[in-house]
Structure 1
Amino acid sequence: VADAGFVFAYTRAMAVNPEAHEAFMALIRAIVPSIGVRVYEAATLGAARAIGSPHCLLAHGRKSLRADVLSEDGLAAFARGDDSGFTPAEQAVIRYAEALSTDPRAMTDADTQRLRDAGYDDRQIVDITLAAAARNYFSRSLLALAVPTDDVPGLDPATAAALRADAA
């Protein structure tokens, strides 16, 4: 409540096994320091868009606005499939997260090489991979449990609608 201003619907589902949710949060806390919030959100949003997770697109869209990762225009563009609000290196992260989220068995060394070419080191590549994989775990859990999608405050209604449509 203190951070978001409301209680997300996923809280009820995760309250059934709070230790698992805390382990997920500990993983996120271990990932973010090496890649930073901007890259973490790029990986998260890329994975959420590929999965079609309205929960995570809305929640992390809001987080991206609050952390100045994206402007309102940049988030609206992202919802339309335009990643120009991100740097070229962050766009490489989005593509990587999308590949991991849609067909990870098709990934090759060329996928990680693109991240390397964008300036990421081995630790960062592992943490980008973990960020996208963690988003798959959480997003797919919410989808499988049929957790209702929240109306997330702080998002322009048109942008929120576009993010929901992006998840459809």
Structure 2
Amino acid sequence: MEPTNPSHGFLEEPPISPEIQALFDADVADHGYVMNLTRVWAQAPAAKVALFGLLADMAQLAGLTFRQRGILISATASTVGDAYCSLAWGARLATAAGDHVADAVLRGDDEPLEAADLALARWARAVAADPNATTPADLEPLRAVGFDDRQIFAVTVFVALRRAFSTVNDALGPAPDRQLRDDAPGAVDTAVSYGRTAAELPS
């Protein structure tokens, strides 16, 4: 096994296989480069494929828009101090909803958020921070903006899976890609003052 680039995390990188190459090719197609976190998931490519397949299923079951997924992921990532997903999805949220919304969600500032965004952000933070502290009353804002119980279940699974994804990435050390930091809107870059430092060089 080849020595690991420090930006790629703490694990030695496995030899390239067709499954690993498929992960890398998907990153290049989507982002233009292989993400550092993908090199960690190269230890078990099928796990990343299965995880993101289930995330897609839950997003569909919940009827989530791209904006709503951005709210949930940004709120979850910022709650657990994950700079990687905060930069990646904070930037996407800024594109979908404006810099002010992305900044607010990443900082935990509810003031600028409309009712649906607020309900999703608060639920994501509750699930990510302390799921044992939730009460039936915490579900009422989601119901008030139109989510039924099946959708609430799917939203909760979505948040829990994103928290798991962040946990694996943060624990095993891949640095946020330099491109994510360089391309982030100013508001997102400033808000993400936590977590691992971005890589010095581009991925």
Same fold (TM over 0.5): yes
Match of 2:5 in 1: none
Provide the C-alpha distance between the structure 1 equivalents of 2:86 and 2:65, rounded to a whole number of angstroms. Answer: 19
Match of 1:43 in 2: 72
Match of 1:65 in 2: 94
Counterpart amino acid of 2:189?
A
For residues 111 and 4 of structure 1, do their structure 2 counterparts lie closer, same or farther at Cα, with a shift above 3 Å needed? same
Q: Which runs of 4+ in 1 moved over 6 A?
A: none
Structure 2 stretches lacking a partner, 5+ long: 1-27, 197-203
Matched ranges for 1:125-140 at <5 A: 125-140=152-167
Match of 1:53 in 2: 82
Match of 1:4 in 2: 31
Match of 1:97 in 2: 124
Farther-moved stretch of structure 1 (50-59 vs 74-83): 74-83
Structure 1 stretches lacking a partner, 5+ long: none
Counterpart amino acid of 1:114?
P
Larger relative contact order, structure 1 or 2 (CA cutoff 8 Å, min sep 6): 1
Match of 2:185 in 1: 156
Q: Please list the CA deviations of residues 20-49 of structure 1 after superposition, one character each: whole Å capped at 9, or x if unmatched.
A: 000111012102222222222211111111
Equivalent residue for 2:172, pick from 140, 145, 162: 145
Count of residue correspondences:
165
Provide the C-alpha distance between the structure 2 equivalents of 1:85 and 1:32, rounded to a whole number of angstroms. Answer: 24
Computed over aligned residues only, the root mean square deviation of the Cα atoms, in angstroms, reads 2.0
Contact map agreement 2:100 2:187 (CA 8 A) in 1: no
For residues 85 and 59 of structure 1, do their structure 2 counterparts lie closer, same or farther at Cα, with a shift above 3 Å needed? farther
Contact map agreement 2:71 2:117 (CA 8 A) in 1: yes
Contact map agreement 1:78 1:85 (CA 8 A) in 2: no
Counterpart amino acid of 2:117?
E
Find the structure with the greater CA-based Rg: 2
Provide the C-alpha distance between the structure 2 equivalents of 1:43 and 1:78, rounded to a whole number of angstroms. Answer: 9
* Residue 116 in structure 1 maps to residue 143 in structure 2: yes
Matched ranges for 1:11-30 at <5 A: 11-30=38-57
Provide the C-alpha distance between the structure 1 equivalents of 2:65 and 2:152, rounded to a whole number of angstroms. Answer: 12
Question: How far did 1:83 drift?
Answer: 4.1
How many percent of aligned residue pairs carry the same amino acid?
32
Question: How far did 1:129 drift?
Answer: 0.4
Provide the C-alpha distance between the structure 2 equivalents of 1:88 and 1:124, rounded to a whole number of angstroms. Answer: 17
